[in-house]
Amino acid sequence: MIIGFANEKYLQEQSDAIRERLKKMACKLYLEFGGKILFDYHAARVLPGFDPNVKMRLLQRLSNEAEIILCIFAGDIERRKVRADFGITYDVDAMKLID
């Protein structure tokens, strides 16, 4: 019996579903990822066994088939909202993701 979040199953099912949707699209497919792309410790706290970096691993699987657009709420940047787990502002976090 598996206890907790099944990361490999998530990766396989999500990548299969995304690829299937891509086949049906005549244009670009836009997907929104909730939470953090990297180091999603909130999800890891509420989903035992969840890999905090599983979303990035999913994007890596799709890297030959996808382009990534990173969107951040401008209000969070203007207010200099701080990511509590690392103590850095959202704009700095975005630049770290890009780098």
- Model confidence pLDDT, tens digit, residues 82-92: 988 889 999 99
DSSP-derived letter for residue 22 is H
pTM assigned to the model = 0.80
Which has the closest alpha carbon to 36: 79, 66, 76?
Answer: 76
Give the residue ranges of DSSP H helices in 1-99: 7-24, 41-46, 54-61, 74-78, 90-98
- Model confidence pLDDT, tens digit, residues 4-52: 899 999 999 999 999 999 899 888 888 888 778 899 999 999 999 999 9
Burial readout 72-91 (b: 16 or more C-beta within 10 A, e: otherwise): eeeebeeeeeeeeeeeebbe
Average pLDDT over residues 49-72: 90
Domain boundaries, the chain: 1-68, 71-99
